[in-house]
A = this chain, B = another copy of it.
Amino acid sequence: MSVASGPKGTRDFYPEEMAFQQFIFSSWKKTCESYGFEQIEAPMFEHLEIYTQKSGEEIERQLYTFKDKGNRSLALRPELTPSLARMVASKGTSIKKPVRWYSIPRLFRYEKMQKGRLREFFQLNMDILGISEVTADAELIAGVIHMMINLGFTSNDFKVRISSRTLLDQLFSSIGIPKNRFSELYSLLDRKNKISESQYLDDLEKIIPETNIRSDIENIFNAESLDYIESKFGSFPAINELQELFRLLKFYSFSEYAVLDIGIVRGLAYYTGIVFEVFDIKKSLRAIAGGGRYNKLVELYGGPSTPAVGFAAGDVVLGELLKDKNLYPGMPPRSTVFLVALADLNHKDLVATAQSIRSSGISCEFSLKNVSVGKQLKYANAARSLFTIFLGGEEEKQGLVRIKDMQKGTENLISKDEIVSKLQTII
């Protein structure tokens, strides 16, 4: 077999790529756990029906589907939310609410490859279930903002763009669009930024032949404030809910990160209230994250009525932005300490020293081959070690070993018996 790469749209994570991914994931975990979210996971593939049930048969085009040997139709998961809703539904009323769950699922979509999009990718998911109040929407949006801040981003780098499906429903009804055209209209609006202006206008005319209604739609999307909408189209309860949301975000000190963007509709049919997407400040990349309220989904899977709000953030676009902004500090050491064996060292001594260092929780390595000191120092550099300790030297007769700080280049003699305690104080 010739040297081959993995399947199209997948990635190999060598230590360098993996360290970058772990930098993102550990920051995600830290944020979620500081907000009191608990981690969950679900199977990597599910019965195909849980996706077609939620998103219609056309979703199958974007899925990796297969039959198992029992002829069951399965699909690699394209998102976690259906599994999460199934898990909540299957526990019925026995599950303690509110639920605060997060997950870092690996996901699969059979899509055309493009910048910021791969066929195999990861997401952060955060969900709050059991709270219908807008306090949950605010807490969740605070979560996504805090996630970005913990990675090092500022309000000059990104914005959360917030809208409301309820408000859009109410506005669309008020300008005379029949409810049976909503689904097609939302689907087009969600595609708006991905297609040309003329394509959008053509498609819009097919759905809304009435010129005056199309001009009202344009007015809605040009609205830059809730006050403007209220003055132009009248008062709706969903406006108050959005106002309350922005008031709550002020309590979190997160006002500067959040803006109204009535044009954010989220394509998926299952959103039932406030929706939002996170974009880089120039909107030059795809969305970093997106989410909203989905109060009907657990019921759809046979569970009790359960208000819910959640978001997903992908690793690919976020990774690009982290690199653009130079926020990744680089790979940590592979081994904090590298033991260098000088001539005539007993291998037993090398291993015993390594074991005592490792047992204290400090990473330690030594050469498994009998090579020159120069070569061992090369290995120490390859391991990005912070310290080397030279074993088997003349000084050992006095119970001393040499330790070298690899960054400063300084060397010190320390007591051999106190290697571990010394390392613990300097690391």
Contact = CB atoms under 8 A, between A and B. Distances in A.
Contacts of A30: 361
A66 B69 contact: no
Contacts of A50: 1, 4
Given A34-B362, A133-B368, A133-B369, A44 B302 contact: no
Contacts of A47: 4, 6-7
A100 B334 contact: yes
Of A12, A43, A98, A133, most B-chain CB atoms within 10 Å: A43
Interface in A321-357: 334-335, 347-348, 351-352, 355
Given A7-B74, A334-B38, A358-B35, A1 B131 contact: no
Contacts of A4: 47, 49-50, 86, 90, 301-302
Given A43-B120, A44-B120, A302 B13 contact: no
A72 B7 contact: yes
Which of A131, A352, A368 has the largest count of B CB atoms less than 10 A from its CB?
Answer: A368
A36 B6 contact: no
Nearest to A382: B96
- Number of copies of chain A assembled together: 2
A41 B13 contact: yes
A3 B90 contact: yes
Nearest to A63: B69
B120 A363 contact: no
Interface stretch (A164-172, A187-195, A230-238, A247-255): A247-255
A182 interface: no
A113 to B, nearest CB: 12
A319 interface: no
A365 interface: yes
Nearest to A52: B1
Given A3-B302, A74-B7, A13 B35 contact: no
Interface stretch (A14-22, A218-226, A286-294): A14-22
A120 to B, nearest CB: 6
B12 A43 contact: yes
A230 to B, nearest CB: 24
Contacts of A69: 110
In the complex, which of the residues A34, A66, A252 has the most CB atoms of chain B within 10 Å of its own CB atom? A34
Nearest to A12: B87
Contact of A70 (B8, B14, B70): B8
A53 interface: yes
- Secondary structure of the A contact surface, majority rule: mixed
Interface residues of A, number: 97
Given A33-B363, A101-B15, A363-B35, A43 B6 contact: yes
Contacts of A87: 12, 14
B34 A15 contact: no
Contacts of A242: none
Nearest to A30: B361
Contacts of A420: none
Contact of A135 (B34, B46, B369): B369
A64 B68 contact: yes
A125 interface: no
A366 to B, nearest CB: 9
Contacts of A35: 358, 363-365
Interface in A79-135: 83, 86-87, 89-92, 96, 98, 100-101, 106, 108, 110, 120, 128, 131, 133, 135
20 contacts: A3-B90, A6-B86, A7-B43, A7-B47, A7-B72, A8-B72, A11-B43, A12-B43, A13-B41, A18-B38, A30-B361, A35-B358, A35-B363, A38-B334, A45-B76, A64-B68, A66-B66, A69-B110, A96-B382, A100-B334
The 3 closest A-B pairs by CB, nearest first: A66-B66, A36-B365, A10-B43
